[in-house]
Each structure stands twice: as C-alpha cells, then as structure tokens.
C-alpha cells in the first residue's frame, strides 16, 4: 500500500482488518452461522452484525464526532448531521459467504460533505487490501493500481450482478446482459459489487454494471476506480450516481462504450427510449411460454 497512509485511512484499514478477522473465523464453520432473511433472497447473518459493530466501534473510538451510514444499522450510530460520514458494508457478498463461496469483502468509505475522500475494500479470504485517498492514488496491498489498457469492448471482461429482489425487472435485465454479452470477451457475476469495483480499478476486469445497488455497495469502489484512472457513473454517464441505484464503471474507453449500450436502460432515459425499450423487451419472452410461467410450463 501507499507508504504514507492518511491517518483516517489508517483507522479504516484497522477497522476492516478487525472485521475480516471475525469473518475468517466464522468461515471456518460457516454451517453454524445464524442466518436471517431481510427479504426474499436478501440474507443477513450474525457475522454481518458483528463485523459492522467492530467497524463502527473502531471508527468512532478514533473519530467520535463523525457520522455513520451502515448497511445493517443505517444512521443509528455516530454524530448526526456530521460533515464526515463513514459509509460501511460490513460483509458484501453475504450470500456467497453463507455458501462457503469465497468471494466477499468489507467495504468502508469516508464521505466529506458528500464526496468520497477515503476508501478501503478488504477481501479477508485472500488477504487483499484495496485502499485509496482522494488525490493520492489507489493501491492493492503494495501495488499502485491502474485500470486496464484494453480499449475495445470485444476484448473486455465485464462484471455485473443479477437481479434477485422482489420487483426487479428480470426481462429488462436479460436484455441488458444480452446486449453487453454479445459485444464482450466475457460476462462475469462474482456476487460482491464492492469487490467487482475493486477489480475494475486493479485492471482485472475492464468494466462493471449493475442496478439496485446501495451507497455502501459502491462508495469505496468508486474512489478506487477514479484514483486508478477509471470512470464511474449512472447509466447515462452522469457522475452523481451514489444514491441512484444504477452504476456503470470502467476504464475510460470501455466506460464510454458501456454507457452507449446502457443509457436507454437508465431510469433517467428519455420517454421515447423507455417506450422503445418496453416494446422490445416484450419480445424477449419465449413465444411458447406465457408471461409469468415457469420452465415447467413451456408448451412443446
């Protein structure tokens, strides 16, 4: 990592490693972890809560006048109306974790007056630490990060997330993935958005897109990407995306090509684009399969 970490970033790294230790201990016997369900396909475990608690304790011990915005406890902790707010995902990739699939991470970002200034993403299963400070670059362990140099979408590896929440427009997402998939070298769905963004910053993938994400999923990764020379925004390419629940990121060339494909799927698309998309999406349903039917209901 950078030899001269910002003091606030040092504290965030300490918090992330403490949370990672809790996660790694639990991963040794994941079958015994208590699991509850926030909504369909949206799980939370006692490990999420324990990880979040140690992160908040570590941060507020050092900075009691800072605010907290965390996935599980919201804004219940920390100072209210603070200029400095820590945005925390204590275990991104919970579904992976409870299945023993080793793709998950801790994500911590510091926003100052709404702008992300510090970022940590820690992958405890690989002991990979991603850090960034605004204006000081992004690092993975001791290596300075730069986004991939590939310029053609057809040569690029793109990561995404699949819809899994009630109310998600599955047909719309199928069409979106179909458009991207046919133009790339490959599409991947690792299952932890924060880590997906870190991998774009590291140049392991050329781009990423997903809808339905919350600020704690993307805050830290957004700074890693911009400090590594990449771009991140909503599907129309606007950089004010943190709370808009749609995100696209990539190296500058690939980012532009992804926005050109995805802009019509944005909630901010024009009325004409939305109407054309609705019409084309209807054709995605198989002709011998009535809308809403399961695979067992397909007619021969």
Q: Which two tokens stand for residue 11?
A: 């504290």
3-state secondary structure of 43: strand
> CA separation (Å) from 262 to 38, 235, 236, 237?
29, 6, 7, 9
CATH (one of 3.40.50.1780, 3.40.50.20, 3.30.540.10, 3.30.390.30) for 7-144: 3.30.540.10
* DSSP designation for 37: E
pLDDT of residue 266: 93
Is the model more confident about 231 or about 278? 231
For the CA atoms of 179, 251, 117, 266, the dihedral, rounded to the nearest 10 degrees, stands at -20
pLDDT of residue 279: 61
Q: Where is average pLDDT lowest: 23-32, 140-149, 150-159, 291-300?
A: 291-300
Domain range annotation of the chain: 7-144, 153-282
pLDDT of residue 282: 58
User: Band of the pLDDT at 263, cuts 50, 70, 90?
Assistant: very high
pLDDT of residue 5: 84
Q: Please tell me the CATH code under which domain 153-282 is placed.
A: 3.40.190.80
Q: Where are the alpha helices (DSSP H) in the chain?
A: 7-27, 46-62, 94-98, 170-181, 193-202, 215-227, 252-262, 271-282
Q: What percent of the chain has pLDDT over 70?
A: 84
Span 173-183, pLDDT tens digits = 889 999 999 99
pTM of the model: 0.88
User: Band of the pLDDT at 271, cuts 50, 70, 90?
Assistant: low
Mean pLDDT, to the nearest integer, of 130-139? 98
Residue 293 has pLDDT above 60, yes or no: no
CB within 8 A of 48, min separation 6: which ones?
A: 71, 72, 90, 91, 94
pLDDT of residue 289: 35
- Cα-Cα-Cα-Cα dihedral sign, residues 153, 131, 119, 28: positive
What gap in Å lies between CA 239 and CA 157, rounded to an integer?
Answer: 22
pLDDT of residue 290: 38
**Average pLDDT over the chain, rounded to an integer:** 88
Span 183-235, pLDDT tens digits = 999 999 999 999 999 999 999 999 999 999 999 999 999 999 999 999 999 99
Beta bridge partners of 248: 209, 233
- Cα-Cα-Cα-Cα dihedral sign, residues 267, 270, 273, 279: positive
Measure CA of the first residue to CA of the last residue in the chain; give whole Å: 59
Residue 102 has pLDDT above 90, yes or no: yes
Q: What percent of the chain has pLDDT over 90?
A: 75
Residue 295 has pLDDT above 60, yes or no: no
What gap in Å lies between CA 297 and CA 300, rounded to an integer?
Answer: 9
How many C-beta atoms lie closer than 10 Å to residue 154's C-beta?
10
Relative to beta strand 128-133, strand 115-123 is antiparallel
State the helix-helix crossing angle for 252-262 and 170-181, rounded to 10 degrees. Answer: 140
Residue 23 has pLDDT above 80, yes or no: yes
Number of residues that this document lists for the chain: 300
Q: Which two tokens stand for residue 222?
A: 């957004």
Q: Where is average pLDDT lowest: 69-78, 245-254, 275-284?
A: 275-284
The number of helices, as runs of H, and strands, as runs of E, in the chain is 8, 14
Nearest to 198 by CA among 249, 272, 265: 249
Q: Which two tokens stand for residue 33?
A: 């972890």
The half-sphere exposure of 229 on its side-chain side, counting CA atoms within 13 A, is 14
What gap in Å lies between CA 103 and CA 239, rounded to an integer?
Answer: 27
């Amino acid at each position: 990592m950078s030899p001269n970490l910002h003091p606030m970033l040092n504290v965030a790294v300490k918090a992330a490693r403490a949370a990672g230790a809790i996660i790694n201990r639990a991963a040794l016997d994941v079958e015994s972890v208590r699991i509850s369900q926030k909504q369909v396909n949206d799980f939370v475990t006692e490990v999420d809560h324990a990880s979040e608690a140690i992160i908040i304790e570590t941060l507020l011990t050092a900075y009691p006048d800072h605010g907290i915005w965390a996935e599980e406890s919201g804004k219940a902790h920390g100072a209210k109306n603070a200029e400095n707010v820590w945005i925390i995902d204590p275990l991104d990739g919970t579904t992976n974790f409870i299945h023993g699939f080793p793709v998950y991470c801790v994500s911590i970002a510091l926003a100052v007056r709404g702008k992300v200034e510090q970022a940590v993403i820690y992958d405890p299963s690989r002991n990979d630490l991603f850090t960034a400070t605004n204006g000081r670059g992004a690092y993975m362990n001791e290596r300075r990060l730069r986004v991939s140099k590939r310029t053609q979408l057809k040569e690029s590896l793109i990561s995404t997330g699949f819809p899994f929440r009630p109310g998600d427009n599955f047909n719309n997402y199928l069409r979106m993935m179909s458009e991207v998939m046919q133009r790339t070298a490959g599409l991947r769905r690792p299952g932890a958005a924060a880590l997906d963004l870190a991998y774009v910053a590291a140049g392991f993938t050329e781009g990423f897109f997903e809808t339905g994400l919350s600020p704690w999923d993307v805050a830290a990764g957004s700074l890693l990407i911009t400090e590594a020379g990449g771009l991140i925004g909503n599907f129309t390419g606007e950089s004010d995306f943190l709370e808009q629940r749609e995100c696209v990121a990539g190296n500058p060339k690939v980012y532009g090509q992804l926005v050109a494909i995805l802009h019509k799927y944005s909630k901010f698309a024009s009325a004409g684009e939305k109407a054309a998309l609705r019409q084309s999406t209807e054709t995605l349903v198989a002709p011998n399969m009535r809308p809403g039917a399961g695979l067992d209901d397909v007619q021969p």
